[in-house]
Amino acid sequence: MSDSFGRGPLTTARPANPDPVRVMVVDDSAVIRGLLTRALEGDPDIRVVTSVGDGQMAVNSLQRNSIDVIVLDIEMPVMDGLTAIPKLLAVAPQVKIIMASTLTLRGADVSMRCLSAGAADYIPKPTSTREIGGAEDFKRELVAKVKALGAAARRAGSRSRGEIRPLTPAAPVGLLKREVGPITTRPAPAGIAVKPDVIAIGSSTGGPQALFEVLSHLKTGISQPILITQHMPATFTTILAEHISRQCGIDAREAKDGEPVVQNRCYIAPGDFHMLVAQRGGTNVIALSKDPPENFCRPAVDPMMRSILKAFGGRKILACILTGMGQDGLKGCTDVVNGGGTLIAQDEASSVVWGMPGAVAQAGICNAILPLKEIGPHIRKLASRAA
């Protein structure tokens, strides 16, 4: 059926959500604020409650409004984003902050500092209003992150009040709604007493902070190579490796194609490349791939896990899935565990978003589901056992 102007089929709009995710947009450009607001309010499950031009105005507005998620620019007059983060969290500890950052070395470095200061996530910010207005990928990522973090903010607020306040909008599994059944763990595999040859970690939303916590326990006492796929764009992964080296005291670097996988080194999958392990001349080396994204991600955790299984053999793999949206890692970790490997997942209470770890936990393939602060010591215990 067409409308009276002959413009094609009529569509039925989704009804407005009676309890949408409540968002504050903070940017010194009124044009950018308007574009972000329109992108967000194109989804009926999101409502932009307020829009302001600097960090101080954001703090003042947060004192007057109930907000779930703040989309926060970094460079602003009066008070920048990095300065504003602790002040915003002091007003509303449960609020989730998404940094809007440019894809530059400086933008990536400041974004990492923002994450360390308490921001939950970041989104690469297009460099022009035209790019923001027409970038469907940017809009889709922004909406998905706001909805996922809105759910997390509601859960955090409910826990602090001792009540349950679920979000009502429908969303993909791993973002807002999940059919939660009994969570079980697998008995330790027969090869659990075998000292692992490699440690493989997958993470996404909230991952940098989780990685800093886990890896801080692994700077001494273990010798295995550590391979990490964190969902991040190029440039950001370079800075992530630098921050891990500084904060955790380990040799972390962005992986390069063809370099050997050696002990006492941490390899970070570079943005826009899958990081794989291949055997060349009897030696395990890094192989970077531009194969299509998996689970809408490149780098993705699944291809990394599959390649490690092929290169090392299942019993020699210690895998870990940390906080993140979606379910990347589920298929690859299933193969690893079925091959005799060991799998640890972060628990829901300590995850920023319990999508990725929740997927492996609910699949019943984990050997342990632990709070974030227990994961590093547990990995160290398993990795440092006598062979």
Torsion of CA 239, 245, 251, 252, to 10 degrees: -30
Amino acid letter for position 114? C
Kindly name the residue from 45, 80, 121, 328 that is annotated as catalytic: 328
Kindly name the residue from 54, 61, 68, 231 that is annotated as catalytic: 231
Distance (Å) of CA 225 to CA 52, 184, 281, 286? 46, 29, 19, 12
- Verify whether residue 274 is a known catalytic residue: no
- Verify whether residue 328 is a known catalytic residue: yes
Spatial separation of the C-alpha atoms in residues 84 and 24, rounded to whole Å: 13
Spatial separation of the C-alpha atoms in residues 8 and 149, rounded to whole Å: 36
Question: In this structure, how many other beta carbons lie within 10 angstroms of the beta carbon of residue 91?
Answer: 14
Distance (Å) of CA 342 to CA 38, 133, 190, 369, 371? 45, 45, 10, 12, 17
Kindly name the residue from 203, 204, 307, 351 that is annotated as catalytic: 204
Intra-chain end-to-end CA distance of the chain, in Å:
70
Scanning the structure block, which residue is given the tokens 């440690």? 199
Q: Which residues are catalytic?
A: 204, 231, 328
